[in-house]
Amino acid sequence: MDRTAVADQTQRIGSRVRTYRMSEAGECSRVLSAQQLGYETSLPTEAGRKALEYYSTLEHVAANMIQSEGYQLQYVGKCPICSQNGEERQGIHVEIPHIMFNLIGHLDRRILIGSIWYPLEIKCLGRFSFDKFERKGFAEFPGYAAQEVCYLEAEQKPGVYAVLNRDTGKLNKYEVSHNGLNLNLFPKLEFTTTFTDIISKLEKVELFVRDNELPPGSDSESCRYCRYKFLCLKEVKEEPVTSDIVEVTLPSLVEAAQLWKEGKQYERMAEERVEQVKQVFVTHAKAGNDKFKVGGVSVSYRGQRSRKYLSETKLKELVDETILSKAYLEGKIFEDISIKPLKEEK
């Protein structure tokens, strides 16, 4: 069935047809179902709102950089189609009708190459994510891949993918092909998924939604940032255990284990974010601002330093063991316990 026929049929179905976002096509099936079923997440924070505004500003910066190279871009700002439906969306409206749902997205821009307009997607990444994208492309960003696959399917054209390092200002331009069509202008990015895969997943999600159920969740890196994490916290998954470990099922211990895993996820996420923003502060400080306050944070830069420490191995080479033993002190008694995710056991 071609798209015109599908559009006619979905229009007849009317309000029963749900909308899925191209920007969320790479999300976990459980998350997509939760959205459609009306599960609420925590309210967005003021810091999150300001971060979104900041990233939007950087998108304009990247677009201006591309225009300075002589390219002409098409930009619409607030989507007039979504505005009519009471939604505030930014970008060029694109839509793919399906017999079970509508797939809707918004292009950041279009770029004129020759006499043809092609879709242009702009991503602004921190230093470490930018480096990761340079090395591994969509392999480390499956959500970005799914979104772009949908955009190209909607446009039926290849496209340009621009990635800005928001810490250094470096801008990389890539091309993404569609059905064998290429631009042959920039380095090529390879997709990790297909449009058929995406549609197949969304169809399964829609069937769960119609039954008012949630599908199983995925176990991936994105779980650390998931705003629906609470839906999976109480799921107790059966894991293989080694012969010397006793498996217990006391509810209090099961809940403690789940909370511990969640805490470790937040801990890793916090460490990554702290390291990213630290580099931003260092860059600003090196520009001649060794002390400054911003957003309730005080920053003092003291230049580059190295840490000094005593090597026990080297001391044993230089000092007699009898003398060295007199330097050892015994601290307070502590509970020696090791906790690690069971999936890491071999």
Query: Does residue 12 lie in a domain region?
Result: yes
240: in domain: yes
- Domain assignment of residue 327, yes or no: no
pLDDT in tens, 47-87: 556 666 777 788 999 999 999 999 999 998 888 888 888 88
Give the span between the Cα atoms of 147 and 141, in whole angstroms: 10
What is the chain's mean pLDDT, rounded? 82
Cα separation of 25 and 300, whole Å?
Answer: 42
The pLDDT score that the predictor gives to residue 238 is: 47
- Do 115 and 192 lie in one domain? The reply is yes
Q: Do 152 and 237 sit in the same domain of this protein?
A: no
Last residue of a domain, one of 274, 291, 308: 291
Pairing of strands 159-165, 171-176: antiparallel
Cα dihedral across residues 252, 254, 257, 259: positive or negative: negative
Same domain, 111 and 33: yes
Give the C-alpha separation, 103 to 150, whole Å. Answer: 8
pLDDT digits (tens, 9 = 90+) for 182-222: 999 999 999 999 999 999 999 999 999 999 998 888 777 67
pLDDT-based confidence at residue 333 (cuts at 50, 70, 90) = confident
| pLDDT(177) > 90 | yes
pLDDT of residue 112: 97
**pLDDT for 244-293, tens place per residue?**
677 777 767 877 877 887 787 777 777 767 776 777 787 788 778 888 88
Question: Quick check: is 118 in a domain?
Answer: yes
Please spell the DSSP secondary structure of 172-223, one letter per residue.
EEEEE-BTTB---SSPBPPPSS-HHHHHHHHHHHHHHHHTT--PPPP-SGGG
pLDDT of residue 141: 92
Q: At 312, is the pLDDT very low, low, confident or very high (cuts 50, 70, 90)?
A: confident
What span, in angstroms and rounded, lies between the C-alpha atoms of 168 and 154?
33
Mean pLDDT, rounded, for 283-304:
83
pLDDT at 42: 57
Residues forming a β-bridge with 144: none
Residue 277: which domain range? Answer: 233-291
Determine contact, residues 160/184, Cβ cutoff 8 Å: no
- The answer to whether residues 24 and 130 belong to one domain is yes
> Do 182 and 243 lie in a common domain?
no
Give the pTM: 0.65
Residue 144 lies in a domain: yes
Are 81 and 121 contained in the same domain?
A: yes
Count of structural domains, the chain:
2
- Evaluated on CA atoms 198, 201, 205, 210, the torsion sign reads positive
Tokens of 231: 């839906």
Report if residue 164 sits inside a domain: yes
Half-sphere exposure of 193 (CA within 13 A, CB side): 25
Among 141, 176, 210, identify where a domain stops: 210
Q: List Cα–Cα distances, 287 to 111, 274, 276, 292, in angstroms.
A: 35, 20, 18, 12
| Whether residue 156 is found in the same domain as residue 283 | no
Q: Compute the C-alpha angle 326/329/333, nearest 5°.
A: 150
Whole-number Å distance between alpha carbons of 150 and 22: 6
- Residue 120: the pLDDT is 97
Q: What is the DSSP string of 106-117?
A: EESEEEEETTEE
Domain harbouring 170, CATH code: 3.90.320.10
pLDDT of 272 reads: 67
At 276 the pLDDT is 67
| 287 within domain boundaries | yes
Asked whether residue 205 is assigned to any structural domain, the reply reads yes
Predicted local confidence at residue 6, as pLDDT: 45
Return the higher-pLDDT residue of 181 and 281: 181
- What pLDDT score does 237 carry? 47
Local confidence band at 7 (pLDDT 50, 70, 90 cut-offs)? very low
Mean pLDDT, residues 320-342: 77
Give the pLDDT score at 2.
Answer: 52
What is the pLDDT, as a whole number, of residue 203? 96
Both 164 and 240 in a single domain?
no
